[in-house]
A and B are shown apart, each in its own frame.
Chain A
């Protein structure tokens, strides 16, 4: 069998139904085999988008997303998406073509050392030197990407290797000596954690993205309900808990709610679950100098104690750890503590101080009331992201995806495309700014080619609003942030054969939303907003 055919066969063995890709000379043998397979190929308009779409697909389906790109510029264009998926622990397998084995290192046409370039933000990577190794390597790659703490795995395959003849046999077992993620939490540690919570007066749970990767939402909720423990979440943790839970407080972090951050600083037992307590989530670690007991549950032992020293570490899969903890939990008297936290609540100041245009908070409130209970919202980066994170209401089976760790502008559109392909029956909403839209609107081409319906919600402040806000907060003059030559965005949609409406008031938004939701095609609502609005 030709190695290229073997590669595709491996993908089929792994249950891959769709790959996002962008071809070129160094992946032609793979493409020829892909053409003959039943696997759906989604041609994106940029390699970065192929990576982001694979990430959106992975987050929507819980499966590993796959993208295939060519050597050199194809591979380097993919780098941001790989880094993004590393920072947000999203399982993707990226296959890059490479120049002929004998030419590696000679700076030949379209050669780039992609393994070296991505070494610090891939979970693992392989350069295939022997075609016979293909089945083992691909099997390992999927295993590594999807187990333990998920992440990107890169496979670099020289083009001559793709054309070799191999004896194909898909391995049944995996044995990687240096990779044995610890799944089951240590019984004694779990017991200690439960005891500490039971003895606390002011417990607080903080949910991170790891709860979602571990599909542990239900178990987390059981623990929360049973103990009556108030709960906050990080940006990546949005979607792990429903807003209507009586114990739900809100978002922590540099752009989080004041009362949530204050709750963090006042808890006597803090239970961190699937969060690396990044600098954006907990900026000021001296908050914890008051001696709270910190319980840290994570699949990645290296996260425990990296940013915050933990007194009761529990390494393992959140799903089964929380399940065990919930079983032993008893109802705690937290009413006074919850009242205390709620008394710190402040109106999220600037959200509504607008003078012209629509009000972002109102738009997201209306949207939250109108969209399906299982809608998926992808948010880009910037002020638009913060508004969406605060105001899109999580209920039912709703999901929220954003680029948290890397903060990659241009993520919303391609990740929405990936999510829609993974979950064709769900409503998908992509929220973005005028700046981030322009980083990846070329993907409108992919959208139409794949016949997908996505609702676009753009907040147009004619500027890089978040950067303006940072400059203002630092008492600097604004500089380099004006997008004064924005195009007519509605016309761009029309040029692609799509429609959209520009709205300048909340009422106009309501009408536009009705129209958008009943439209049978993708639709953009461009919200003109006050350029001086702030998120903090």
Chain B
């Protein structure tokens, strides 16, 4: 993990997001890295990552053939007047309310990057107290493996 983020820093590549977690094989973890850059730079990133001995395989995920998800936790200020409209928005976005007290509410939303951004824009006027986004994680569809 530190080797990979270090490589990006050292060679001056920009990362939009990087997520890491376990896979079906407990000896292997899987990272999803989002970069926006020229094709030639992406190719260099690919090759440089491949040189790391701990890196087993690199898959470039195409937008068409993969599913992407991101999760966000958002703590929104709560008062009598906005409560129901927030709840409604959460429902429309198929989010979940996971914690409430009398001053705030924590909402969980998953989906594409765009969907989450749209949700955030909608609830912003009510006052976002705190927020975390996980960054993108993804898998190729069907039996492409």
Contacts and interface: CB of A to CB of B under 8 A. Distances in A.
B6 A305 contact: no
B85 interface: no
A176 B51 CA distance: 13
B10 A179 contact: no
A2 to B, nearest CB: 28
A179 B50 CA distance: 9
Nearest to B6: A119
A302 B51 contact: yes
Nearest to B7: A120
B59 to A, nearest CB: 14
Interface stretch (B39-47, B70-78, B86-94, B123-131): B39-47
Contact of B43 (A119, A124, A177, A305): A305
Given A301-B47, A302-B47, A144 B40 contact: no
Interface string A167-197: 0000000001111000000000000000000
B47 A120 contact: no
Contacts of A124: 53
B44 A306 contact: yes
A105 interface: no
Contacts of A309: 40
B7 A178 contact: no
Nearest to A300: B51
B15 interface: no
A123 interface: yes
Interface string A269-313: 000000000000000000000000000000011100110010000
A116 interface: yes
Contact of B50 (A119, A176, A301): A301
Nearest to B28: A177
B60 interface: no
Given A119-B3, A302-B48, A305-B44, A176 B53 contact: yes
B55 interface: yes
B2 A144 contact: no
Contacts of A119: 2-3, 6
Contacts of B55: 178
Contacts of A144: 53
Contacts of B51: 300, 302
A279 B48 CA distance: 19
Contacts, number: 33
A409 to B, nearest CB: 23
B23 to A, nearest CB: 13
Interface string B56-79: 110000000000000000000000
Given A120-B7, A120-B10, A178 B47 contact: no
A119 B7 CA distance: 9
B contact patch SS: helix
A contact patch SS: loop
Contacts of B43: 305
Interface residues of B, number: 18
A302 B2 contact: no
A97 to B, nearest CB: 22
A120 B7 CA distance: 7
Contacts of A300: 51
A128 to B, nearest CB: 15
Contacts of B52: 178
Interface string A102-119: 000000000000001001
A179 B51 CA distance: 8
A302 B53 contact: no
Interface string B94-112: 0000000000000000000
Nearest to B48: A302
A524 to B, nearest CB: 40
Given A116-B2, A178-B56, A302 B50 contact: yes
Interface in B1-32: 2-3, 6-7, 10
B60 to A, nearest CB: 15
Nearest to B10: A120
A184 to B, nearest CB: 18
A144 to B, nearest CB: 6
Contacts of A178: 52-57
A116 B3 CA distance: 9
A70 B120 CA distance: 54
A268 B85 CA distance: 70
Contacts of B2: 116, 119
Nearest to B52: A178
Contact of A302 (B40, B44, B54, B56): B44
A411 to B, nearest CB: 23
Given A305-B40, A309-B40, A123 B47 contact: no
Nearest to A151: B51
Interface in A386-436: none
Contacts of A116: 2
Q: Looking at A116, A123, A302, A305, which has the most chain B CB atoms within 10 Å of its CB?
A: A302
A116 B44 CA distance: 23
A178 B58 CA distance: 10
Contacts of A305: 40, 43-44
A124 B43 CA distance: 22
Contacts of B57: 178
B48 A120 contact: no
8 contacts: A116-B2, A120-B6, A177-B56, A178-B55, A302-B47, A302-B48, A305-B40, A306-B47
The list of the 10 closest CB pairs from A to B, nearest first, reads A302-B47, A124-B53, A178-B56, A177-B56, A179-B53, A120-B10, A178-B55, A178-B53, A302-B48, A301-B47
Given A124-B53, A176-B53, A301-B47, 6 more contacts: A116-B2, A177-B56, A179-B53, A302-B48, A302-B50, A309-B40
